[in-house]
């Protein structure tokens, strides 16, 4: 796979996107994507962005042939920015469950990218959890060890050491990688190793993270209190560091954040209603 260079510090986000595309052998050019994302981001102060590859049926007769395939189709890139509120109802601490559904195997759908079809797996799990009265669900992998939540990576704290699940079988979260760095900056040891279900129940603290979720503590799992049943000191420290980071008040903010100049409302396109 040929590396594609994007504007820093957005580069790592788009490199992950390119890697996800390569798993499906999709030929899509993404040069100029970062500037287009900035243009869309200007219009929504609290927006989250989603870049998707759409299949169109307008450019090639082969696209009109119905079938299950990724080849011989015209790929197009779309960029959407929209207002985004709270990702989870309880953003300070959550009561979650370990789902009876397993996370989809890497050998079924690659975990390296945010592939839309893979989210059906997360949707089943999240819906079952919420309907049962939980805030979120933890997914086990095909091997029976902890993988991640439906939209977040997971960390366990025991005896002041932070543990997180191996990269194999999870989405390689950029927020996850950021927190690993922030934790080490604070002097914590971070260990990547397999985590069993019963290790969750005896943890001092557990927290989850993601682009939308940011950093959230888990207070209970399956009605078992985690630690003192509230956000612990390690999670609190990392949440504060992350908040400083994303609000431009951290020593790493200049290198990790991509500035988006303000856009005058007169520059917004006028949409006609029908």
Catalytic residues: 114
d(CA 165, CA 200): 12
Contact (Cβ atoms closer than 8 angstroms) between residue 51 and residue 37: yes
Nearest to 111 by CA among 166, 53, 49: 166
Contact (Cβ atoms closer than 8 angstroms) between residue 97 and residue 137: yes
Beta bridge pairs of residue 155: 164, 207
- CA-to-CA dists, residue 94 to 2, 122, 130, 142, 179, angstroms: 41, 17, 11, 25, 19
Nearest to 168 by CA among 136, 132, 207, 141: 141
Nearest to 109 by CA among 171, 152, 166, 173: 171
Residue in the structure block whose two tokens are 């409302």:
265
β-bridge pairing 214-221 and 205-210: antiparallel
């Amino acid at each position: 796979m040929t590396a594609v260079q994007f504007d820093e510090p957005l580069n790592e986000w788009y490199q992950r996107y390119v890697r996800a595309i390569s798993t499906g052998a999709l030929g899509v050019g993404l040069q100029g994507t970062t500037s287009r994302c900035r243009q869309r981001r200007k219009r929504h102060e609290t927006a989250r962005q989603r870049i998707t590859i759409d299949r169109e049926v307008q450019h090639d007769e082969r696209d009109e042939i119905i079938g299950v395939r990724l080849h011989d189709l015209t790929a197009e890139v779309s960029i959407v920015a929209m207002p985004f509120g709270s990702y989870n109802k309880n953003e300070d601490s959550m009561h979650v469950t370990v789902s009876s559904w397993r996370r989809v195997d890497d050998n079924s759908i690659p975990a390296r990218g945010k592939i839309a079809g893979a989210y059906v797996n997360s949707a089943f799990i999240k819906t079952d959890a919420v309907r049962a009265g939980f805030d979120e669900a933890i997914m086990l992998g095909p091997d029976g060890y902890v993988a991640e939540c439906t939209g977040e990576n997971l960390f366990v704290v025991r005896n002041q050491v932070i543990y997180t699940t191996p990269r194999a079988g999870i989405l390689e979260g950029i927020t996850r990688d950021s927190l690993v760095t922030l934790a080490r900056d604070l002097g914590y040891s971070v260990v990547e190793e397999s985590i069993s279900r019963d290790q969750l129940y005896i943890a001092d603290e557990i927290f989850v993270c993601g682009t939308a979720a940011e950093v959230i503590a888990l207070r209970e799992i399956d009605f078992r209190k985690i630690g003192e049943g509230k956000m612990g000191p390690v999670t609190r420290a990392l949440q504060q560091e992350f908040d400083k980071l994303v609000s431009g008040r951290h020593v790493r903010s200049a290198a990790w954040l991509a500035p988006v100049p303000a856009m005058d409302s007169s520059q917004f396109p006028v949409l006609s209603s029908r």
